[in-house]
Amino acid sequence: MTSIPPPQSPTDTRLAARAVSATKIYGRGDTEVRALDDVTVGFEPGRFAAIMGPSGSGKSTLMHCLAGLDTLTSGEVFIGDIALSPLPEKALTLLRRDKVGFIFQAFNLVPTLNALENITLPLALAKRDADDAWLDEVVTTVGLKDRLTHRPNELSGGQQQRVAVARALASRPDIVFADEPTGNLDSRTGAEILSFMKHAVRELGQTIVMVTHDPVAASYADRVVFLADGKIVDEMQDPTADAVLDRLKHFGD
């Protein structure tokens, strides 16, 4: 297996997020699973990165650990220059609230809150006022202007994901993590969401790391990192869907 070194040193503190020798082991003895095996990877600010790999390769685990939702067995992850493993639970929560945005595959929204309230939820939790100009820009970008007072159950799946994107962006986080954000959507709606995300990176300067197993989704990113069996096995700059598909076909070779 070839291992291509990352373009920038993972110790570079200018990175938005990075993992250094990150290892995550589930279970013990016979049932031991190395979900992450000594992964070292970094994500530059203002870029759209995709993490790809077959099912069970450790994509979600990597993302969760980077985002402070899960802890490593060994190694370290950083958001900006903050090392996460020494942080107590509360500090991790505040860090997620203030510096990280999330987009999950489904169930992104609180059903009792309307679209706008969902978007500003992290801000409200932090008792921070929304930056109105920015909020307006985000909302306009994702095309939700006339849906703001709707409850999630009054929105289509695509609209719900757009609200989730807007929420992830609203607090101007240092980095946004998205776990298969288009996995539950038809391809046309999925394409829309991906365009929004790409737009947010290009025009609004956001940093996004997206987990996906869909080569078309990956093609929206600036860079693709390939995972297999908990290890980084390859990476690709400015990917096209065909190139990614081609690379995936040769997995396990």
Partner 1 sequence: MFKLAVKSLLARKLRLLLMVFAIVIGVSFVVGSFVISDSLRSTFNSLATNIEGTTDLTVRTSQDFGDNALRPPIDQSNVDLVKKLDGVQAVEGTLNVFSGITPIKANGDPVKRNGPPIIGINTVTSPELNQLIPVDGRPPSGEGEFALDVDAAKDFEFVVGDTYTVLLPAGSKQVKLVGTFAFNSAANDTTGAVLVAFDTPAAQKFFSLEGRFSEIAISVAKGADLAEVQARIAEKLPAGAEVVDRSVKIQETQDDFDEIATIFGSILLAFAMVTVVVSAFLINNTFRIIIGQRIRELALLRALGATGRQVTISVIGEALVIGVVATFIGLFAGIGLAVLLKVLFSALGFSLPDGPLEILPRTIIAATLVGVGVTIVSALLPALKVRQIPPIAALGDDFQLQGTGLRRRIIVGGAVTGIGAVLLGLGLFGSLDTTALLLTLALGALTMFVGINLLSPVFAVPVARGLGWPIARFRGVAGQLARDNSARNPRRTSSTAAALMIGVALISMVAVVGASIKDTFTGLLDNSVEADFFVRPDNAADPTAGFSPDLTAALRARPEIESVEAFRFAQQSVRVGGKTKDLQGTDFKNLLQHLNPDIISGDVPAAGPNDVLVHKDPAKDLGLQVGDSIDMLFIDGKTETLRVAAIYDDASILGNWVVSLDLWDRHFTATVDQFVTVRSLDRTDPTAAAKAVEVETAVYASVKAENKAEFKKTQQRRVDSFLAVVQGMLILALLIALLGIYNTLRLSIYERTRELGLLRAVGMTRAQMRVMIRWEAAIVAVFGAVLGVVLGVLFGVAAASALPSSFIKSITLPLGSLVIYVLVAAVFGLLAAIFPARRAARLNVLDAISHN
Q: Do residues 32 and 59 make contact, with C-beta atoms less than 8 angstroms apart?
A: no
Query: DSSP letter at 145?
Result: G
CB nearer to Mg ion: give 60 or 141: 60
Q: Which residue has the tokens 């450790």?
A: 58
37's tokens: 């095996």
70 binds, among partner 1, Mg ion, ligand ADP, none (CB under 5 to 8 A by kind): partner 1
61 binds ligand ADP (CB under 6 A): yes
94 binds partner 1 (CB under 8 A): yes
Sites of contact with Mg ion (CB under 5 A): 60
Alpha carbon dihedral 154, 157, 161, 164, in 10-degree steps, equals 40
Distance, in Å, from the CA atom of 196 to the CA atom of 64, rounded to the nearest integer, reads 23
| DSSP assignment of 152-177 | GGGS-HHHHHHHHHHHHHHT--SEEE
**Whole-number minimum distance, CB 141 to ligand ADP, in Å?**
28
* C-alpha dist (Å) from residue 206 to 12, 116, 168, 180: 19, 20, 10, 18
130 binds ligand ADP (CB under 6 A): no
CB nearer to partner 1: give 89 or 253: 89
**Whole-number minimum distance, CB 86 to partner 1, in Å?**
18
Task: Among 58, 122, 173, 239, indicate the residue that binds ligand ADP (CB under 6 A).
Answer: 58
57 binds ligand ADP (CB under 6 A): yes
Distance, in Å, from the CA atom of 57 to the CA atom of 78, rounded to the nearest integer, reads 21
Task: Among 5, 7, 27, 46, indicate the residue that binds ligand ADP (CB under 6 A).
Answer: 27
Spatial strand order of the sheet with 74-79 comes to: 33-43, 17-26, 74-79, 82-83
192 three-class SS: helix
Interface characters, 130-169, with partner 1 (x: CB under 8 A): -------------------------------------x--
26 binds, among partner 1, ligand ADP, Mg ion, none (CB under 5 to 8 A by kind): ligand ADP
6 binds ligand ADP (CB under 6 A): no
210 to 229, contacts with ligand ADP by CB under 6 A?
Answer: none
CB nearer to partner 1: give 72 or 109: 109
**Whole-number minimum distance, CB 225 to partner 1, in Å?**
21
117 three-class SS: helix
CA 100 to chain centre: 9
104 binds partner 1 (CB under 8 A): yes
Residues that bind ligand ADP (CB under 6 A): 26-27, 33, 35, 53, 55-61
